[in-house]
Chain A
Amino acid sequence: MERTRDRVKVSDEDMVPADVVIPEEVLKSVAPDNGTGEEPEKLRWRKIGGGTFRMANGKIIKPNQVFSAAIEEIPEGFRKIVVPLSQLPDEVSLVVDSGKYEVQAASPGWYNVIDAQGKVINEKSLRQAAAKDLIESLSQ
């Protein structure tokens, strides 16, 4: 496969051999995901004062420039030099799935800690008190 400036050319040797069976769940089409699930809402901002502001994506914002960016792209520490031109929406707190862990008996007197998928988290079985301590540590 060779790579040009903007496109990737795929040669025959890069493709799947005919005898490779690809699982069906892999072949079913899925929507592209950029990792965020949904596109964050963009707001208008102005860079005030001297000097430039460099965003995480490499974009350089000049003094007094008005630009669009999601709230997440402007760190709180820079909000004095990059000011929003409209009211910032109230921050909605995330509903976090912090993982559910349970103690499960392994053998008489010994216990495992399992996660929500039923996967054993500990390497070796533990005494009940140690298992509870582990859950407490993981749930901190």
Chain B
Amino acid sequence: MNWKTPAMWTGGECWIMGGGYSMPKQFKIPENITQCVCVGKQLPSAYSPFLEVLHDKHVIGINNAYLIGTWMDALFFGDGSWYLKHRKNLAKWPGLKVTCTPKFANRKKEKMEGVKYLGKDHQRTHGISENVSKVSWNGNSGSAAISLAAHFGVKRIFLLGFDMEASKFTHWHGSHNKNYKKGGRGKKQPYQRHLRGFPQIARDAKTRGIEIFNVNPVSKIDSFPKITLKEALNA
């Protein structure tokens, strides 16, 4: 059964934490810590002390972001195979767990494993869904989470780690798919495809009076104003 998202952050702001490598840079997290996390020698929770300014803010983490800390309000994921890998850890994570993966579409409540399900809005595949029980998928979890934030009622969204490019590492937690490097199934990086939804998201956000800022001055996403973390915190 689809979850009906409550408008609990009406008029407020929230931060959406994507996986891009710019996130630790914005928080001035030392490079050696980031690299240790990327290669699995440190837990992502090593970032937590550096993100203290966010601890009391509304934050939606995308995929592995939940590993940073339990101070995050919500986690959003859209990939069923990612869930299988993290299932046991997620069971112990106390925040809101929200997904749009069809794996949860027809499950009974007792089989939901604490996960809330929002269907993909097929009437509005790109942009921001107006149906509080659905999200516009836009091709990736981070963009879909913008619909979740809008359902929560926020008027301002700050995007963290929305780089849409791979520099030293594809993500601040290492790579989801090692085959990107090897030339296997995922030999083509998906970022060009991920970029497609943002112009419509920007139009929908404007219509709904939602301000979206990209907290990465060198992000490949050109649909939102790009600002630094300092500017975001002073906004």
Could you list which residues of chain A lie within 8 angstroms of chain B, going by C-beta atoms?
1, 3, 5, 8, 10, 14-16, 20, 22-23, 25-26, 30, 32-38, 54, 56-58, 72-73, 75, 94-100, 113, 115-117, 119, 121-124, 133-134, 137-138, 140
Contacts of A32 in B (CB 8 A): 40-43
Q: How far is the CB of B154 from chain A (nearest CB, A)?
A: 8
Contact A16 B31 (CB under 8 A): yes
- Complex Cα distance, B29 from A23, in Å, reads 11
Which residues of chain B have a CB within 8 Å of any CB of chain A? 3-4, 6, 8-12, 30-33, 35, 39-43, 46, 49, 55-56, 58, 64, 67, 70-71, 73, 80-81, 84-89, 91-96, 109, 113-114, 116, 153, 168-169, 177-179, 181-182, 184-186
Tell whether, in the assembled complex, residue A97 and residue B87 are in contact, meaning their CB atoms are under 8 Å apart: no
CA distance A61 to B184 in the complex (A): 14
- Whether A30 contacts B6 by the Cβ 8 Å rule is no
Shortest C-beta distance, A128 to chain B (Å), equals 15
What are 24 A-to-B residue pairs whose CB atoms are below 8 Å? A8-B35, A14-B35, A15-B32, A16-B30, A16-B33, A22-B30, A22-B33, A26-B42, A32-B40, A32-B43, A34-B40, A36-B86, A58-B182, A58-B184, A72-B87, A94-B88, A96-B114, A97-B93, A99-B114, A115-B95, A119-B71, A123-B10, A124-B11, A140-B3
Asked if B6 and A138 sit within 8 Å, CB to CB, the answer is yes
Shortest Cβ distance from A95 into B: residue: B91
**If A32-B41, A38-B88, A140-B3 touch, does A16 touch B32 (CB 8 Å cutoff)?**
yes
